[in-house]
Amino acid sequence: MIEQATIERILDASEIVEVVSDFVNLKRRGVNYLGNCPFHNEKTPSFTVSPAKGIFKCFGCGKGGNAVNFIMEHESLSYPEALKWLARKYHIEIVEKEESEEERQQKDDRESMMIVSGFAQKYFSRFLWEEPEGRTVGLGYFRERGFREDIVKKFELGFCPDGKSTFTDAAQREGYRMEFLEKTGLTIKRDDWVRDRFSGRVMFPIHNLAGRVIAFGGRILKHDPNAAKYLNSPESEIYHKSRVLYGIFQAKREIMRADKCFLVEGYTDVLSLHQAGIENVVASSGTALTPDQIRLIRRFTPNVTILYDGDEAGIKASLRGIDLVLEEGLNVKVLLLPGGEDPDSFARKHNATELLHYIAENETDFIQFKTRLLLKTTENDPVARAKLITDVLRSVSVIPDTIMRSVYIRECSKLLNVDESILYNEVRKILRHRSGKAGFQLPPDQPAKAKPQVAPPTPQPAGLDTEEQELLRILLKYCKSPLFEQESETPGQTEIISVGYFILAQLINDDLVSDKPEFKTIIEEMADRLEEDDFQPDRYFFHHPDARISRLAIDLLAEKWVESKRWSKAGSYTEKEEDILEWLVPKIVNEYKLRKVKYLLADIEKQIAGLTGEDDFEKVIDAQSKYMNLKKVEKFLADRLGNRTMIS
C-alpha cells in the first residue's frame, strides 16, 4: 500500500497537460487544450484538457478523469500502478507497506509479462556491456555499424548470449516463471525441450508510449541460411505489432515539437537518424504499415514524410502505405533516397543540417510523386495512361476531408492534363462503388463528399436526473462561495452562509438526500469535510479513490456541463452564473425537492393501489394522509418556482 502522504505528493506534482502531452498532441484553445482522443478513433478533436481543473474530458466517447485516471486508462494500469508510474515520472520515492502473499497473487498476467520483459532488457544490456561474449560479438557489431555508445544506451540495446537456454536459465534462477517467459515469447518450450528464442542475436527492445519494454527484435550475427535475419517477439497480451511503432517513446516529444514525423522501415534506420541529430523518426519495424500505427502518429502530428529505399522494392512499399496514411486524414509526403541508399546508410553519411536540407529539397507531395512515377511507365500507351489516372484518383478518393480532396483533384488535373470535371466524375464513381449506393448522385460541379462521421452520444453522468446533476454541479463548483448573510446567535452580528452549507442543510434536515449511491456519497462526504479550511471539493472528488465518483465529478464540471442553456438567449449570455447564486441556488434546491416529492407521491400511489385487503384500512388512511401533506408541499414548491410545470 502507498502511504496517503506520498499519494498527495504525487497528485500535487502531476500536471495534467504535461502528463497527457506524453501521449497526445495538444494545442492551446483559450484556457484549455484540445487534441484527438487516444481512446477512440476520431478525425475532429473533441478531447479537452483543463489545466485549471486538472482534468481531461472527451466529448466524443465520454471518457474523463484526472492525471491518474488518464494513465490508468491509457496504459491499462490499476490505481496503485498508475500512481507508481507518475511517481517515476516526477522522481518521487514511494514507501510501501510490505506486499502480502494475497496481493502478490492478484497481479495479473499482463503486469507479470511487463516485469519479465523489463528484466530481459536489463539482462541483455548488462550482457552486452559486461560479458566478454557481449562486448566482443554484440557491442562489436554495433561499433562496426558506426553506432555511438550513447545511442546504444539511449535505445537500451543488448545481446542475448549464444547457447540453448542461457537466458532462460538465468531468468528462472532470478525467480521469473516459465509461464511468463513463454507468454512473452522470450522462451520456446516444447514438452521437455527448452530454448532461448533470441539466442546469439543483438537485441532491439521495443517500448510502448510510456517507455516500458513490451517486445524485442533480434538480429542474427552468424551466417545461417535457415535462420531469419531479423526475428521479432510473437504477438502477446502486451505486444501487438500492428499497433506499435519502433522508437515512438524516444521520438514523441520531438515529433510534437517539430510537428512532423519521419517514417522509416527498420530499427537501424531509426538509430542512424537519431545519431545524425534527427529524433522525430519512427519505424514500422519491417511490417506493412497499418491503420493503428498511422493513428498513433496522428496523436502527435498530422504531418508525415515517408522515407524509403530508392530501389524498386522501396518504391512499391511507399505506394502501399500512402493510401492508408491519406485515409486517416494525415498530410503525407514521400522521399525516395538515391539509388542504393536506405535511411540508415544515407544518415551515416550526412549530419542533421544536410539531411534536413536534402529532405526539404526532395520530399514530394504524394500526388506529384505517384503521378510522375507512374507516368514513366505509360508513355505512348493510352490504355496504361487511363489506368494510371484511375489509380491516382483512388488514392485521392480516400482523403476524408472534402476541401483537401478537391485541392488534390485540381492538382491532378494540371499534372495529368485532364479536365477537372472529368476527374470529379471519376472520384464520384469510386466513392459510389465503395459505398455500395449505385443510385447516389452529386451535382456535377461539386466534389464528392465523404460519408459523414456521427459522433457517439456523450454518456450522461451516473444515470442521475437533471435536477440531481445540476444540484451536485453547483455544490461541487461553488461549495465555499458565500450565498447570503444572516443574523448570528451573537446579538448585533451576522454570519456568512455558504452555498455548500445551505444546500446540505436543506437536504439533510428535510431527509431528502437521494438514495443513488454516487449522489449519497458526495453529499455525505461533503458534509463531513465542509468545515475543514483546506477542503477543496473539486480537487477532493476529482481524485476520489472510487472511480465512479471521480468520473461523475469530472463529467459534471467539464466545460459542456458548465455552458447551461439556462443563462443564454439568442446565443448570447445575459448573466454570469456566479453573479446570481443568491437567486439560483434556492431555485435549484427547490427544483430538486420538487422532483423528489413527485417520486414520493408516485411511491405512495403504488402503495395505496396495493392495499386491497380488509385489514389494510388503517394503512390506506395513513398513506392518504402522507399523500395529502406531500401534495401541499408540492404546491408550495411549485408556487416558489413561479407555478412552473414539472414533467414527471
Whether pLDDT at 185 is above 90: yes
Whether pLDDT at 440 is above 70: no
140: exposed, middle or buried (C-beta count within 10 Å: 0-12, 13-18, 19+)? middle
Backbone φ and ψ for 202, nearest 5 degrees, come out as: -80, 145
Whether pLDDT at 454 is above 80: no
For 392-428, the DSSP string reads HHHHHHT-S-HHHHHHHHHHHHHHHT--HHHHHHHHH
Say if residues 195 and 188 touch (Cβ distance below 8 Å). yes
Beta-bridged to residue 215, according to DSSP, are 206
Indicate the pLDDT class of residue 572, thresholds 50, 70 and 90: very low
Sign of torsion, CA 370 376 378 380?
positive
Say if residues 300 and 330 touch (Cβ distance below 8 Å). no
Say if residues 322 and 408 touch (Cβ distance below 8 Å). no
Q: Which of 286, 296, 352 is nearest to 324 (CA)?
A: 296
Higher pLDDT, 631 or 460: 631
Backbone φ and ψ for 608, nearest 5 degrees, come out as: -65, -40
Whether pLDDT at 574 is above 90: no
Whether pLDDT at 98 is above 90: no
- The CATH H-level (homologous superfamily) assignment of domain 108-239 is DNA primase, catalytic core, N-terminal domain (3.90.980.10)
Specify the pTM. 0.61
Indicate the pLDDT class of residue 97, thresholds 50, 70 and 90: low
d(CA 326, CA 347): 27
Q: Determine the straight-line distance between the first and last CA of the chain, rounded to whole angstroms.
A: 47
The two beta strands, 482-487 and 494-498, are: antiparallel
Region of 442 (left: φ > 0; alpha: ψ -120 to 50; beta: rest) is beta
Tell how far CA 406 is from the center of its chain. Answer: 31
Region of 247 (left: φ > 0; alpha: ψ -120 to 50; beta: rest) is left
User: Tell me, what's the pLDDT at 310?
Assistant: 60
Say if residues 55 and 554 touch (Cβ distance below 8 Å). yes
Whether pLDDT at 8 is above 50: yes
Indicate the pLDDT class of residue 459, thresholds 50, 70 and 90: very low
Residue located via cell numbers 484526472 = 66
Of the options 3.40.50, 1.20.1530, 2.20.130, 1.20.50, the CATH number for the domain spanning 368-435: 1.20.50
- The CATH architecture of the domain made up of 4-103 is Alpha-Beta Complex (3.90)
User: Tell me, what's the pLDDT at 491?
Assistant: 63
Quickly count: other Cβ atoms within 10 Å of residue 427's Cβ. 23
The three-class DSSP label of residue 349 is: coil
For 550-589, the DSSP string reads HHHHHHHHSHHHHS-GGGEETTEE-S-GGGGHHHHHHHHH
Say if residues 180 and 117 touch (Cβ distance below 8 Å). no
d(CA 397, CA 137): 51
Q: Which of 52-56, 96-100, 166-170 has the highest mean pLDDT?
A: 166-170
Which tens digits make up the pLDDT trace of 501-556? 888 888 877 777 888 888 888 988 888 888 777 788 888 888 887 888 888 888 88
Q: Which of 556, 555, 630 is nearest to 593 (CA)?
A: 630
d(CA 235, CA 352): 35
User: In what order do the strands lie in the sheet containing 331-336?
Assistant: 281-283, 261-264, 303-308, 331-336, 364-365
d(CA 329, CA 320): 16
Which tens digits make up the pLDDT trace of 353-407? 999 999 989 888 877 777 777 676 666 677 777 877 888 888 888 887 777 788 8
d(CA 469, CA 214): 42
User: Tell me, what's the pLDDT at 634?
Assistant: 80
d(CA 113, CA 111): 5
Q: How many CA atoms lie within 13 A of 307 on its CB side?
A: 30
Q: What angle do CA 548, 596, 645 make, to 5 degrees?
A: 120
Q: In the chain, what are the domain boundaries?
A: 4-103, 108-239, 368-435, 461-563+575-640
Indicate the pLDDT class of residue 137, thresholds 50, 70 and 90: very high
Q: The C-alpha cell of 425 is what?
A: 466524375
Which tens digits make up the pLDDT trace of 126-136? 999 999 999 99
For residue 340, what are the CA distances in angstroms to 14, 310, 577?
Answer: 48, 6, 68
Residue located via cell numbers 414548491 = 637
Mean pLDDT, rounded, for 30-44: 85
Mean pLDDT of the chain: 81
Which tens digits make up the pLDDT trace of 228-263? 888 999 999 889 888 899 999 999 888 888 889 999
Beta-bridged to residue 70, according to DSSP, are none
Say if residues 230 and 217 touch (Cβ distance below 8 Å). yes
The three-class DSSP label of residue 233 is: coil
Q: The C-alpha cell of 519 is what?
A: 449522489
Mean pLDDT, rounded, for 63-81: 87
User: Tell me, what's the pLDDT at 462?
Assistant: 56
Say if residues 76 and 4 touch (Cβ distance below 8 Å). no
d(CA 216, CA 186): 9
Q: Which of 33-37, 399-403, 439-443, 643-647 has the highest mean pLDDT?
A: 33-37
Higher pLDDT, 367 or 150: 150
d(CA 85, CA 90): 9
> In this structure, what DSSP letter does residue 339 have?
T
Indicate the pLDDT class of residue 186, thresholds 50, 70 and 90: very high
